[in-house]
Amino acid sequence: MHRLENLRHALLRLHQAFVDAERIEYERVHGRVAGGQLLKVLIDEPAFAWLKQLTTTIVQLDELLDDESPHEAADEAKQLAELREALQPDAAGNGFQQRYALLLQRSPDVVVAHAAVVQALG
């Protein structure tokens, strides 16, 4: 479980790095967004829809961590393998993977957060 908790924290940092990078880009086009408006923008704006995949992944990991039944090592390994596959930045991949790859090129914070996720995935 400790490994999954570390992964969860790394994913949250990655998510925050994505939001910060996308916010900068969004504000260049649309002007400054106040903190209270950011949540609405994140939910409503199509430019942020690609983040849903990572948000869903974090929620699924939270559910796994909240499940109090004992987990088999094979179950955890399977979950980690699925996460590794889903979290592949790829310029030729799906929308999430393409945006992830682009932000790795643009944002040092995304690079650092990505490295932490890779390390947590093992």
115 vs 25, 30, 46, 54, CA distance in Å?
22, 31, 27, 16
Task: Tell me the pTM.
Answer: 0.87
- pLDDT at position 85: 86
From CA 3, how far away is CA 122, in angstroms rounded? 9
Across residues 77-100, what is the average pLDDT?
88
Q: Hey, is 64 helix, strand or coil?
A: helix
- pLDDT at position 1: 59
99 versus 83: the higher-pLDDT residue is 99
Q: Which residues contact 45 (CB under 8 A, 6 or more apart)?
A: 26
